[in-house]
Structure 1
Amino acid sequence: NQRDKLRAGVYLLGVEDATENKLWCGYALFKTLTLNELVYVSLKNKTNEELNSRAAELIINKLIEYPCNI
């Protein structure tokens, strides 16, 4: 439902914000909507077994694919 989607979006944004410029390059690299889509597609392609992991771990594992190239 709509409330669950909102909660999921807020959770995702929290993980992105907490790890920005630490584990991934940051919003300078992607617009928020693009980044969210990358994460959602990644989650959609996970097996049920993989989805039993912590949500933050799954999100972070995708975000770390986008480090800063400094």
Structure 2
Amino acid sequence: MNGILLSLNAKEWFYYLYQHIHQPMAEQKGKELATVSVYLNTGIVAGLVGLGFVGAALVFGVLTLIIR
């Protein structure tokens, strides 16, 4: 199966991901011992990325002033 995934182009890869990620949990059959669903809130992720960017900029600015 890994060989098939490696031979896919970008469009086929995204279609494969869409088909396998967006299936309801009842349709995903297998012998898993446990399943975990994670739902990311886009606003929270964007806020955390923004805070990380601002924090990195502040640290860079302070270090630049100290080194001078």
Normalized against structure 2, the TM-score is what?
A: 0.31
The structure number with the bigger radius of gyration is 2
TM, length-normalised to structure 1: 0.30
